[in-house]
Amino acid sequence: DTGVSQDPRHKITKRGQNVTFRCDPISEHNRLYWYRQTLGQGPEFLTYFQNEAQLEKSRLLSDRFSAERPKGSFSTLEIQRTEQGDSAMYLCASSPPGSGSRELFFGEGSRLTVL
Amino acid sequence: AQKVTQAQTEISVVEKEDVTLDCVYETRDTTYYLFWYKQPPSGELVFLIRRNSFDEQNEISGRYSWNFQKSTSSFNFTITASQVVDSAVYFCALSEAVNYGQNFVFGPGTRLSVLP
């Protein structure tokens, strides 16, 4: 399968613990996005990478959130000192290089439950 | 700032009925892109269509068709002869010309239930 891969698919953690999610984009895609989706809502933008550079971060991304894409391939999203409000589906998407706005290809998401 | 409105929160139809999902957008850019995505119960968002602001030609793909009208800032999606497998949440999205993350905005979605 050559789609966007996310791991783990589900994570249950206790409040205050740290969690890390991994995303492997489609191999030739240089753009990578993280979104958060809560029940009944559309995806909300968190952060964006072009190659290894993190070009944008949403105001939704507090200091407890950090994302990396060290070699321009896979990316990690870490949440420190999790809170119950962090419970959501975390979606990774990638898009190919090229002019204009290209469609996003999404992974299956990582569902986080904070107890 | 750009915005996408999908006024229909939930729609139920009986199989074989036609159904139209509405999408209204706001943007100050003259160059932008519109998208529709499907999110079935399995959860993965599936890309359906991309349209740029200079191409108002309607598009048909099988049972799916899209009606883009710049005059009303709408990009509506019609499913003809709906099937149970069409049951999903459908999202309309807008991206302004510069392909930066903040500028790719999703609407709240419309949940479509197709009953047998």
> What is the structure's pLDDT at B112?
97
Among A45, A102, A108, select the one facing B101 at the smallest CB separation: A45
> What is the structure's pLDDT at B99?
57
Q: Is the pLDDT of residue A100 over 70?
A: no
B49 class by beta-carbon count within 10 Å (0-12 exposed, 13-18 middle, 19+ buried): middle
Rounded distance between C-alpha atoms, residue B14 and residue B76, angstroms: 20
Strand, helix or coil for residue B7: coil
Chain A residue whose CA is closest to B50: A103
> What is the structure's pLDDT at B10?
97
Instruction: Tell me which chain B residues have a C-beta less than 8 angstroms from the C-beta of A100.
Output: 33, 52, 97, 99
Instruction: Tell me which chain A residues have a C-beta less than 8 angstroms from the C-beta of B107.
Output: 42
> What is the structure's pLDDT at A72?
85
CB of B89 closer than 8 Å to CB of B110 = yes
Among A47, A48, A103, select the one facing B50 at the smallest CB separation: A103
Chain A residue whose CA is closest to B4: A42
> What is the structure's pLDDT at A98?
76
Candidates B8, B30, B66, B106, partner chain A, best to mutate (most A CBs within 10 A): B106
Chain-chain contact of B44 with A109 (C-beta, under 8 angstroms): yes
Q: Of chain A residues 76-105, which have a CB less than 8 A from chain B? A: 89, 91, 93, 95, 100-105
Write out chain B's pLDDT in tens, 116 residues: 789 999 999 999 999 999 999 999 999 888 899 999 999 988 899 999 999 898 888 888 899 999 999 999 999 999 999 999 999 999 999 988 765 666 789 999 999 999 99
Strand, helix or coil for residue A70: coil
Q: Of chain B residues 4-43, which have a CB less than 8 A from chain A? A: 4, 32-33, 35, 37, 42-43
pLDDT in tens, A50-79: 999 998 888 878 899 999 999 889 999 999
Tokens 């107890």 belong to which residue? A115
